[in-house]
Amino acid sequence: MSGRPPRRASQGFPARARLRRRSEFEALYARGLKLVEPRLVAFIAPAPDRGGGWRLGLSVGLKVGNSPRRNRVKRVLREAFRQVSTEWPEACDLVLVARPGSAPSTTAEARESLLRLRERWRRRTGAGA
């Protein structure tokens, strides 16, 4: 018997649910709707050509902090998005940019920001109304 704990079902983001390439980020910056929150800036654009589901990209720059801090912010944002992603109205691409000095440090803070962004997205586009 090995010393490893049993494997759990993965709750991670599969590759199909992530924006990974620079070109994907740049395209979204160019065509997406920009929404600003105190802790986050979001770029959102519908993706009707894809079979459904959201794709998430994260941008957490050096000004947010050292690498443990940046990685924690990314983990918090992914978990918060996982919790609210089913409440978003349609399949879209979403990039979240953490704001230096006020990036969310808890899942609850990130979740609140994402819910406010969702409401603003719905008001601006009429999506999910």
For residue range 96-118, list pLDDT tens digits in order. 999 998 888 899 999 999 999 98
Q: Do 96 and 56 meet the contact criterion of CB atoms below 8 Å apart? A: yes
| 46-82 burial: b if 16+ Cβ within 10 Å, else e | bbeeeeeebbbbbebeeebbeeeebebbbebbbebbb
Look up tokens 């983990």; give the residue.
75
CATH architecture of 16-124: 2-Layer Sandwich (3.30)
- Given this model, what pLDDT does residue 5 score? 57
- Given this model, what pLDDT does residue 84 score? 87
- Given this model, what pLDDT does residue 88 score? 73
- Given this model, what pLDDT does residue 102 score? 86
- Kindly report the pTM of this predicted structure: 0.84
Checking if the pLDDT of 10 tops 60, the result is no
Residues 36-90 have pLDDT tens digits of 999 999 999 887 676 667 889 999 999 999 999 999 999 999 999 988 887 776 7
Checking if the pLDDT of 17 tops 70, the result is yes
